[in-house]
Amino acid sequence: MASKTTTGLLCFTSGALAGAAIGLLYAPETGRETRSWLSYQLEKYRSVLADLTESLVTSRDSTPSSAKSEGQRVIQDAKSKAEQLLGDVDQLISQINSRRAIN
C-alpha cells in the first residue's frame, strides 16, 4: 500500500508542478513578474524534493526485514523519480535565469 501511495504522490506532484509551470508561462502577468515568481516557487519545491529524497534514504534503514527488499525497491524508485524532478527543476530555473539575463 505504501508503494502505491508513494508512487501516486510523486506522480501527482510532478504533474502538478508541470501543469503549474506551463500555466504560469501563459499567465496574463508580465514575463519578468511571472519568471520571478516561478523561479521562487521552483526553488521552494526543489528544497522540498531534496528533503523528501533525504527522508526516503534515511527511512530505508528502518524497513522491517520481511519487506526489506520490496521497500528498498520502492525507495529506490521514489528516489530516482525525485532526483529526476530535481533535475527538471534545475533546468527550468536555469532557463528562467537565462531569460531574465536577456531581458
Residue 66 predicted with pLDDT over 70: no
Tens of pLDDT, residue by residue over 29-62, are 777 777 787 788 888 888 888 887 777 777 665 5
CA angle 86, 29, 12 (to 5 degrees): 35
- pLDDT value for 59: 67
- pLDDT value for 41: 81
d(CA 81, CA 77): 6
Joined together, the cell numbers standing for residue 72 give 528498498
- pLDDT value for 79: 82
